[in-house]
Amino acid sequence: MIQPTSTTLPSRLRRRRGCKRLGAAPHSASAVVVCALLCLSAVGPEARASRPTTPSAGGGPTEAIVLEKLWSVGDGPGEEKLVCTVDTMLAASSSNKQFYVGPTCLRGQVAALDAGGNLTGFIGSEGQGPGELEAVATIFVDRRDQLHVFQIPRGHTVFGSDHQFVRSFQRWPLPGWAVFLDGGTSVRNLLLKTPDRVGKPLSIVDDSTNELLLSFGEDVTAVVDASDNGGQFRSISAGQGTSYWSAKPFDYALQQWDASGRELRTLVRQPEWWIRKPGYGTTWLRDIRVDGNLVWTLSIVPTFDGESPGKVGKGPGLNNYFDTVFEVLALDTEQLVATTRTDVVFSRWVGDLVFSHRDLEEGIVAMDVWRAHLSGSTGLELATSKWRRIR
């Protein structure tokens, strides 16, 4: 049985700790992916205290980021097959009344949960026919509450809000992110290596026909391969109106695009906690969420300070090397509103919710679902910002 809990994670001071040296140098995309996979392993059921990061000079954020744990899945009787690995994803309907978990340990099936995280059934079955699934990789829900199940290497199956099969495709590579917009299109990060697509990691796809309408997001560093700057790992969020935002994972940079793929602005940040040291791991901007005038960022951060490798981490398992830093930026003033660092390693945003994974024992993983929100004053009139607009 799923046991909902409610825990508030306040902000207060904590010290950084050392960790063992990571084996791979992070300058290659594959090495950073290794670091990213490690960071998705879970820590404990409760977070330690989080630490607000203060700007280097002048004023600072006046808001507090509150992380409230709502419920868990995978740690109750009979739930050991729901959360198979730390790659298991969470998706939600527009009203958060229906949740989906996949991939599960049941091949070809996605679990359906109610608003409280209670299992209500399974969607799909193993196979290659209509409504059947193979190697489920990631899941998303569009604005019509249809469930999109992407499978390795190119499968894409759609189920309606009633969980009935709608259609399937076999064409484009597996996307790391997909944001579904009004009008039946989606923005995805696709690793396409054709000459006309290299260096353009973002693509707009017609969801009814699966036709690729546009590729954009040029990166001058991607001379040979769109993955040179983590193109296939760029997180995407719908913005205001018809615009979208994307984040470069290995540089703290946010880019806004219009419906035609034209860059509107780029915001970059160089915080004190951002670590990029060859041989010891790197910080990774994992996901972003745009909510009206605010953009929320979720970054995975090595626990060491970049100068002291070889120290013991914060606990057993590979995930003792990583923390999570949340930050909130006001788009109208382009200033920092709030920032918090926590021991819990989070995976992705699902609307205003965010989820993390937790190791229970060897080969058994649970998922915790949290709500993130701001408390305190509006925090928009700040004296100092470490963001800068470069174009």
DSSP class per residue in 335-376: EEEEEEEESS-EEEEETTEEEEEEEEETTEEEEEEEEEEEES
CB atoms within 10 A of CB 68: 15
Distance CA 342, CA 11 (A): 8
Strand bridging mode 132-133 / 125-126: parallel
pLDDT at 69: 94
239 by DSSP, 3-state: which? coil
Report yes or no: 98 and 113 within 8 Å, Cβ to Cβ: yes
Q: Cα 189 to chain center, whole Å?
A: 13
pTM of the model: 0.77
Domain boundaries, the chain: 7-80+172-389
Please identify which residue in the block is written with the tokens 């709030």: 338
133 by DSSP, 3-state: which? strand
pLDDT at 48: 32
Distance CA 286, CA 165 (A): 31
pLDDT at 30: 35
Which residues in the chain come in under a pLDDT of 50?
A: 1-59, 220-229, 306-318, 377-391
pLDDT at 289: 96
Question: E strands, 143-262, where?
Answer: 147-152, 155-159, 165-170, 178-181, 185-189, 202-206, 212-216, 235-238, 244-248, 253-257
User: How many Cα atoms sit within 13 Å of 189 on the Cβ side?
Assistant: 24
> Which residues neighbour 104 within 8 Å (Cβ) at sequence distance 6 or greater?
81, 82, 83, 84, 88, 110, 111, 122, 136
Distances in whole angstroms, Cα of residue 207 to Cα of each of 111, 132, 157, 181? 23, 19, 11, 10
25 by DSSP, 3-state: which? coil
> Which residues neighbour 122 within 8 Å (Cβ) at sequence distance 6 or greater?
104, 106, 109, 110, 111, 112
> Which residues neighbour 113 within 8 Å (Cβ) at sequence distance 6 or greater?
2, 73, 98, 99, 100, 101, 119, 120
pLDDT at 62: 61
pLDDT at 151: 92
Distance CA 47, CA 342 (A): 7
